[in-house]
């Protein structure tokens, strides 16, 4: 991995101002995806710090501002994918052949709006319920979620040309193994419940394979959002390991 690849991954996944990479090829974009979990860790670190600072005054204000920072940093990239997929699935319930046509429609339908609202409500509620010690493990959630597209794009066929196809084309599977091991080790140490993440990622892939027979870029984005929601609630319910937090105090 190169620093140019990190810049490209950050440029693609966030609104964080970095020196722009303009002359990249689809192959380079695919290789830069090896940085995606690292970018996720950085997003999660900013999110956790924001909530920790603001929650000293109000837990709910911390959750609301934290979610605002989260959406701003990512530019609602994955929410857009979730909305497009929701509209396409709803509109093609009785006619699966129109799925890709509806998915490509730039207009946002009612199901897309509802899916965005539901996910944001679920996220802000979970963030408001996180115990303070759990914030130390929060960065792992965006990291796990951004490992998902690497796995899905290697596992499933692309339904059309686009980001889903690009990520699969030149990605070394060794990076998926590397990040899985790193994130499992970190999860086991900080919040063992997050070790369910590979099952969540696998579950979304199995559903996509059963329902659609492959992926698009919107499917990847929707998967990121759903993975984050599931892991957030796991962390909110089960928390982190008390021994780790006690040792840090």
Q: Residue 29 domain-assigned?
A: no
How confident is residue 246, by pLDDT bands cut at 50, 70 and 90?
very low
Q: Residue 220 domain-assigned?
A: yes
Q: Which residues are registered as beta bridge partners of 90?
A: none
Q: pLDDT over 70 for what percent of the chain?
A: 86
pLDDT in tens, 128-180: 999 889 999 999 999 999 999 999 988 888 877 665 555 656 778 888 999 99
* Residue 153 contacts residue 31 (beta carbons within 8 Å): no
Residue 189: partners with Cβ closer than 8 Å, 6 or more residues away:
241, 244
Q: Residue 154 domain-assigned?
A: yes
Give backbone dihedrals phi and psi of 58, rounded to 5 degrees, phi first.
-160, 125
Q: Residue 248 domain-assigned?
A: no
Give backbone dihedrals phi and psi of 76, rounded to 5 degrees, phi first.
55, 25
Q: Is 158 helix (H, G, I), strand (E, B) or coil?
A: strand
Mean pLDDT in the chain?
86
Q: Is 215 helix (H, G, I), strand (E, B) or coil?
A: strand
pLDDT in tens, 180-211: 999 999 999 999 999 999 999 999 999 999 98
Q: Residue 138 domain-assigned?
A: yes
Q: Residue 63 domain-assigned?
A: yes
* Domain count along the chain: 1
Q: Residue 28 domain-assigned?
A: no
Q: Which residues are registered as beta bridge partners of 168?
A: none
Q: Residue 27 domain-assigned?
A: no
Q: CA 50 to CA 68: how far, in whole Å?
A: 10
- pTM, entire model: 0.89
pLDDT in tens, 90-101: 777 655 566 666
* Residue 10 contacts residue 18 (beta carbons within 8 Å): yes
User: Domain containing 173: what range?
Assistant: 3-21+34-243
Q: CA 52 to CA 136: how far, in whole Å?
A: 10
């Amino acid at each position: 991995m190169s620093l140019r690849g990190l810049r490209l991954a950050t440029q693609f996944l966030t609104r964080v101002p970095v020196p722009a990479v303009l002359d990249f090829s689809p192959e380079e974009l695919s290789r830069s995806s090896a940085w995606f979990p690292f970018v996720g860790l950085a997003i999660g670190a900013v999110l956790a710090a924001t909530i920790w600072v603001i929650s000293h005054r109000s837990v709910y204000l911390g959750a609301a501002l934290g979610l605002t920072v989260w959406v701003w940093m990512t530019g609602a990239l994955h929410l857009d994918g979730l909305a497009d997929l929701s509209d396409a699935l709803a509109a093609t319930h009785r006619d699966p052949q129109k799925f890709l046509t509806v998915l490509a429609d730039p207009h946002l339908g009612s199901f897309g709006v509802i899916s965005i609202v539901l996910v944001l409500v679920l996220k802000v509620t979970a963030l408001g319920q996180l115990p303070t010690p759990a914030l130390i493990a929060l960065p792992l959630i965006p990291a796990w979620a951004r490992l998902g597209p690497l796995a899905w794009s290697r596992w499933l066929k692309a339904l059309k040309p686009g980001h889903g196809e690009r990520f699969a084309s030149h990605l070394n599977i060794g990076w998926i193994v590397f990040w899985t091991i790193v994130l499992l080790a970190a999860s086991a140490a900080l919040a063992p419940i997050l070790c369910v993440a590979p099952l969540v990622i696998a579950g979304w892939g199995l559903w996509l394979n059963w329902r659609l027979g492959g992926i698009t870029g919107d499917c990847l984005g929707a998967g990121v959002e759903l993975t984050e929601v599931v892991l957030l609630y796991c962390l909110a319910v089960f928390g982190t390991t008390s021994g780790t937090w006690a040792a840090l105090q």
